Amino acid sequence: MKLKALIIEDNEQNMYMLSFLLEKNNYEVFQAFNGLDGIKAAKEYLPDVILLDIQLPGMDGYQIARELRKRNDLNSIPIIAVTSHAMVGDREKAMASGATGYIEKPIDPDNFTQRLESYFSEELLQRRNHL
């Protein structure tokens, strides 16, 4: 079984890029383009990791992270915020909202997966390595 990654991102190009990189690295990808769909997908698919954009229509990434952290079944899933380089304070706010880590945009395709997996627990890395 592949690891499941949920991407919550409203920008088509970023969604395409993140999906491409994850699929290339053997992840099963689920996509959501806004917070409500993202939370619904998280409940439904119980992903192993969530990539979370901050600037989204409606609910922003901070709100989404806080919502996800309220739920027992979703509480331990690593949430990686995808933050804009230009927005000072995004990271800190994301971490305060319950994110496990962050990756800055623009995404660097050469080290994206490495950055992502640096936030994985030992248990998740083990599962990843045994696929």
The amino acid occupying position 117 is E
Question: Binding to Mn ion by residue 53, rule CB under 5 A?
Answer: yes
> Which of 2, 10, 25, 117 is close enough to bind Mn ion by CB under 5 A?
10
Question: Binding to Mn ion by residue 113, rule CB under 5 A?
Answer: no
DSSP state, residue 2: P
* Residue 112 structure tokens: 């994206």
**Among 103, 119, 107, 118, CA closest to 54:** 103
Distance CA 5, CA 131 (A): 15
3 vs 79 by CB, closer to Mn ion: 79
CB of 55 to Mn ion, least distance (A): 4
Question: Binding to Mn ion by residue 55, rule CB under 5 A?
Answer: yes
**Sites of contact with Mn ion (CB under 5 A):** 10-11, 53, 55
